[in-house]
Structure 1
Amino acid sequence: MHSVKPAAAPAVRPVWPLALATLLVAVLIAAPAPVPSPHWLGRLSRIVTGSPLAPAHAIAIGLALALVARGVLLRRRAAWYGLVTLVLLGLLAVVSGDDPLWRLPLLAAVLGGLWLERDRFPVRPHPERVRTAVKTGAVLVAVAVAASLLFGGVSVRSVGAVAGGLGGTGGPMDGASWLPGLLGLAGAAGLLLLVITLLAPDPAPPPGDEAERRRVASLVFHPGSDTLAPFALRRDKAYVFSADGRAAIGYRVLFGMAVAGGDPVGDPASHADAVRAFRAMCRTTGWRPAVLGASDALLPAWGPCRSIGFGDEVVIAPGEFTLSGRQMRNVRQAVKRTANFGVSSEIVSERDLTPALRAKLLDVASRSLGGSAERGFSMNLDELLTGYHPGAVVAVAYGEDAEPIAFQRYVTAGEGVSLDAMRRAPDGPNGVNERLIVEMIEYAGGHGHGVVSLNFAAFRALLDAGDRTPLEKAGYRALHLLDPLIAVESLYLFDKKFRPSYKPRNVVFRSWFDIAYLAAALLTLEFGRTRPAQRAADPVTEPAHHLGRY
């Protein structure tokens, strides 16, 4: 977990003017280098460089400053350090007599302005990034020195070239006239690598430890936690807590995106504070905040972020569910079919499974997936059938020979129970999944759960639309063709038989400029195979007030 102190109010003054000025300086340095330039452009370039630069060095510094300009826009403290360093180097050049004296008051004024604006750059470089940058710089200097010794004659200019070449072209060396150019090229690449490393967001944090997971488990069972709350207990998630500790957000970091799974868990009165803590953490780590599965009710808490509704959670109220009526005929027939096949069933706490039954159910799961790995993020839990997670119950279906042929795992939240895994042996009779869902709805109603959450209906509005526009027709056609792989349409049609209600869910993100990173992160989280975390010796403790429900 990232320890988040109560965040000060975010800086309201924009930083884009400084970013634009930095980009302008980068252009003035680099533009005259590649081709012969007008006299006036060369004079403008001299204002920022003081003295002529070698073309290769000018291009490298210009590119580095363009990256720094982006870092300024993202409020990276390393970008501020880079600008201060550049101004100090300019002052040093003036003092040493290499640059005109008239630049001294200009550079001093710029340095004073940067110092006054230092608090507008809260994203400090992570120690790991700093160590990587230091190692990279040391390697580059070592290569320069070794090459100079090997090919004859060490010069300060040659070593300086590999550090980025802030001036001059370097003198020729005995026996290796090509070496200064090569070292200059390596120095340019090294400079860009150093800037990229220092401006990068923090690396992904480790998953939450067992103490944090126990805290989150107690929050999951809070009456205000919604049906996605149990999935915060995935062992690959890290956590950030509200200031009062009564709410938390589980998240993962990929490609610089910090993706939260659903709404905060715990007391609704503290949800907004948990969101503020999450956003404050993202500001200080350089991560782009995002949410997969945010409810409509909590969208205002995310402030100016963008949101896209991408589907609906399928929910059923046990108190309103009935098998009677013409609209439920298909479900009734499916349940009756399993009875005709001699199917029996039971619902048991996952922690009460015997080792023998657990092994048989895992075999069913493996055959159901065709040997594929378990995947998912926002509505999938890990540790299938291990008894690690609290509040998990398993509905098991047995064939005529009393061997298990299907099972479903449900996990408990404050608001109700949520379907996590639905597995059926390929040779099992049709209707078994419907049978287990119906029995689980009855079970939930008898144990005081107000809602049963089933699957997720992605793009439900598109699938349910009667009169589609040409663009919607193309989207529907794509979903239909991809259904054998992602089962969007078939899963929606399966859930629709139960006459459920729907709870809209949204993707929340900071800016449209984050779309590429967001898409890569979400696709990897939902469909990529993740390395399981190291198993703990004991399962997460179940809150004492909840033990009586089973």
Structure 2
Amino acid sequence: MLLVTSTFTAGAGRCASRPLHHHPASALRPRAVAGHPGVADRLEHVLLGLAGVEGPVTFTSERVSDLVYFSLLALGTLTAVTTLDLALRPERPNAVLSVDDERRLRGLLDRHGERDSLGYFALRRDKSVLFSPSGKAAIAYRVVSGVMLASGDPLGDREAWPAVIRAFTAEARRHAWVPAVIGCGETAGEVWTRETGMSALELGDEAVVEVAGFTLEGRAMRNVRQMVNRVERAGHTCRVRRVADLGDDERVRLQQAADAWRGTQTERGYSMALGRFCDPEDPACLVVTAHRNGKLVALQHYVPWGPHGISLDLMRRDRAADPGLNELLIVKTLQAAPSLGITQVLLNFAMFRAALARGERLGAGPVLRAWRGVLLFLSHWFQIESLYRFNAKFRPIWEPRFVVYPNARDLPRIGVSALQAEAFLPLTRPLRPRPASLPLLLPHRRTRASP
């Protein structure tokens, strides 16, 4: 407002060589103002002009009068729109998992953790958590771009799921957030849709390998068998250990190596990544490392899935190392699983796996083939086809996962918020997760495995 007011008083000697009607800044010239209005009149003119009303100041040129009028009206409109946007914009809280919330979640996982292979990822420290009134169930979420984004199934007793789901939707309505769920299982999806009236869409499949049925024998495993044998003949060895069995110095070295091998500057992951690596507070996590001539060349990290399962969190390798190390590490994990009491291993999540598989079959319709073509095109930027092909090598059981959404018109917004949460799109404000318990062990947000 002061800037506009100054246009009536400043710069009397500027642009004197140009005619008034040729210069867009003619309002800067005192001779453009008719008469001698005082400061009060000029201030009144500015205030009225911001509301689109003519003020007491008159001008010698109709063009100058129009220029001042529309400039003030534009500034007033911009001010009003900005104010309304700031006033009505949904709140975006800074998601931080408190120490007490983490303790309560760990208690739920101890009792019910085997029900969801993604349950342990609720312990990310850049998530918020909402508990049912009884405290027997919980939902981990983050608010991104006005979307209250839950991930995986609700934790805890299934009988308490409806109560915590109702609390979740009530919280979303209170803050004008769009409620959504990414990566929930079929049973949880049925509860969500029944309790909220929302819809579900298949997002992809997770690859679950049954340890008892895994073998490298047979024609179907020929490719994996040959690759593993070749890497072992090159002198690579593997170690499978719990985080509790690692010393502080080795944890730091593993963290530094994982950081150095990360393919991007940004740590990716939200719904299927723990966000930290080799944290002493996660003693049951599994670390699998590959070495050649005593040098670390690759590693994988698994989180607990109840007492008898593990879920792949990340896998990293030296870019200069031999290909096939990821296959070797998975095979060694599956072979060591029985001695660790592990019966199921969850590998990567394959987005739109069913569409890719059905679209390549004989007799697939034009719509399905076109959709598969789009997915193949997007695979140049996102690991869609590559993760599907990589998982399929190990002959897994495919378990579908779903996205739950209120209306079809909300899907684009939910998709953008999910990409932001997974760090594929930049967030407008950095998140500040609670640091790890040991200062020397830096917390990291991890992406799911990349072959």
Q: Same fold (TM over 0.5)?
A: yes
In the aligned structure 1, how far is the partner of 2:77 from the partner of 2:373? Answer: 49
Picking from 166, 170, 177, the partner of 1:287 is 177
Contact 1:305–1:509 (CA<8 Å) still a contact in 2?
yes
Tell me if 1:211 matches 2:100: yes
For 1:411, the equivalent position in structure 2 comes to 303
Aligned equivalent of 2:160 = 270
* 1:375–1:529 contact (8 Å) kept in structure 2: no
Please show how residues 506-545 of structure 1 align to structure 2 within 5 Å.
506-526=402-422, 527-528=424-425, 531=430, 533=432, 535-536=434-435, 538=437
1:193 and 1:427 mapped to 2: Cα distance?
51
1:152–1:174 Cα contact (<8 Å) kept: no
Q: Aligned AA for 1:512?
A: A
The residue that corresponds to 1:199 in the other structure is: 88
Do structure 1's residue 504 and structure 2's residue 400 form an aligned pair? yes
1:173 aligns with 2:57: yes
Q: After superposition, where does 1:255-334 map in structure 2 within 5 Å?
A: 255-302=145-192, 303-334=196-227
Q: CA deviation at 1:192?
A: 2.9
Matching of residue 365 in structure 1 with residue 258 in structure 2: yes
**Distance change (3 Å), C-alpha of 1:177 and 1:428:** closer
Supply the AA of the counterpart residue of 2:137.
A
Distance 1:480 1:513, change over 3 A: closer
Structure 2 CA distance for aligned equivalents of residues 272 and 523 of structure 1: 27
Summarize the alignment of residues 414-493 of structure 1 with structure 2, pairs less than 5 Å apart: 414=306, 416-465=309-358, 466-467=361-362, 468-493=364-389
Deviation at 1:291, TM superposition (A): 1.0
SS in 2 for 1:508: strand
Cα distance in 2, alignment partners of residues 200 and 421 from structure 1: 36
Distance 1:195 1:452 in 2: 50
- Tell me, in whole angstroms, the C-alpha distance in 1 between the residues paired with 2:256 and 2:94: 34
Counterpart Cα distance in 2 of 1:363 and 1:538: 17
Contact preservation (8 Å) 2:148, 2:179 = yes
Q: Secondary structure at the match of 1:423?
A: strand
Question: Hey, what's the Cα distance between the residues in 2 that align with 1:538 and 1:359?
Answer: 13
**Rounded Cα–Cα distance in structure 1 between residues aligned with 2:370 and 2:357:** 14
Query: d(CA) in 1 for partners of 2:405 and 2:100?
Result: 30
For 2:119 and 2:330, the matched residues in 1 are separated by: 20
Task: Tell me if 1:383 matches 2:276.
Answer: yes
The answer on whether the counterparts of 1:262 and 1:294 sit within 8 Å (CA) in structure 2 is yes
- Contact 2:288-2:300 within 8 A present in 1 as well: yes
Unaligned runs of 5+ in 1: 1-139, 540-550
Amino acid at match of 1:173: V
1:220 counterpart (88, 109, 130): 109
How does the TM-score come out when normalised to structure 1? 0.64
* Alignment-derived partner of residue 354 in structure 1: 247
- Count of residue pairs brought into register by the alignment: 396
Measured in 2, the distance between the counterparts of 1:473 and 1:336 equals 37
Quick one: which amino acid aligns to residue 509 of structure 1?
Y
**Cα displacement (A) at 1:281:** 0.5
Deviates more, 1:434-443 or 1:228-237: 434-443
Which residues of 2 match residues 330-349 of structure 1 at below 5 A?
A: 330-349=223-242
Give the secondary-structure state (helix, strand or coil) at the position aligned to 1:485.
Answer: coil
Could you say which residue in structure 2 is the equivalent of 1:154?
Answer: 40
Tell which deviates more after alignment, 330-339 or 251-260. 330-339
Q: Deviations over 1:381-407 (max 9, x none)?
A: 2123344545322011111x1221111
Matching of residues 130-141 of structure 1 within 5 Å: none
Structure 1 185/343 Cα, relative in aligned 2: closer, same or farther at 3 Å? closer
CA distance in 2, matches of 1:162, 1:354: 70
CA contact (8 A) 1:161 1:187 kept: no
Distance, in Å, in 1 between the alignment partners of 2:411 and 2:139 is: 22
Picking from 229, 251, 262, the partner of 2:119 is 229
- 1:213 CA drift (Å): 2.1
Q: Deviations over 1:139-166 (max 9, x none)?
A: x7x889999999735379757646746x
- How far apart are residue 460 of structure 1 and its match? 1.0
242 and 338 in structure 1: CA distance in 2 versus 1, 3 angstrom threshold: same
Query: In structure 2, what is the Cα distance between the partners aligned to 1:372 and 1:192?
Result: 36
Check the 8 A contact 1:393/1:411 in 2, yes or no: yes
| Equivalent-residue separation in structure 1 for 2:385 and 2:69 (angstroms) | 63
Supply the distance in 1 between the matched residues of 2:45 and 2:338 (Cα, whole angstroms): 78
Percent identical residues? 34
Secondary structure (helix, strand or coil) at the match of 1:222 reads helix
Q: CA deviation at 1:197?
A: 2.7
Listed one character per residue, the Cα deviations across residues 317-371 of structure 1 (whole Å, up to 9, x for unaligned) are 2233333333233333333333322322222222443344335434543454345
Structure possessing the higher relative contact order (Cα contacts under 8 Å, 6 or more residues apart): 2
Q: Deviations over 1:28-57 (max 9, x none)?
A: xxxxxxxxxxxxxxxxxxxxxxxxxxxxxx
Structure 1 residue 181, shift from structure 2 partner: 6.0
Partner residue in 1 for 2:390: 494
Name the SS of the counterpart of 1:486 in structure 2.
coil
Q: What secondary structure sits across from 1:236 in the alignment?
A: coil
Give the Å deviation of 1:412.
Answer: 0.8
Aligned equivalent of 1:248: 138
Distance 2:232 2:48 in 1: 81
CA–CA distance in structure 2, aligned partners of residues 331 and 498 of structure 1: 8
1:127 match: none
Alignment root-mean-square deviation, CA: 3.2
- Show the counterpart of 1:45: none
Gaps of 5+ in 2: 11-36, 439-451
Structure 2 CA distance, aligned partners of 1:513 and 1:482? 22
TM-score by length of 2: 0.77
Cα separation, partners in 2 of 1:162 and 1:219, compared to 1, 3 Å: farther
- Which structure has more strand as a fraction of its residues? 2
Structure 2 vs 1, CA of residues 184 and 428 (structure 1 numbering), >3 Å: closer, same or farther? closer
Name the SS for the 2:171 alignment partner.
Answer: helix
Give the 3 Å change call, closer, same or farther, for CA 143–154 of structure 1 in structure 2.
farther
In the TM superposition, residue 439 of structure 1 has moved relative to its aligned partner by 2.7
8 A Cα contact 1:164 1:191, kept in partner:
no
Q: Counterpart of 2:379 in 1: which secondary structure?
A: helix
Task: Report the Cα distance in structure 2 between the residues aligned to 1:192 and 1:339, rounded to whole angstroms.
Answer: 65
CA distance in 1, matches of 2:375, 2:55: 64
User: CA–CA distance in 2 between the matches of 1:432 and 1:187?
Assistant: 62
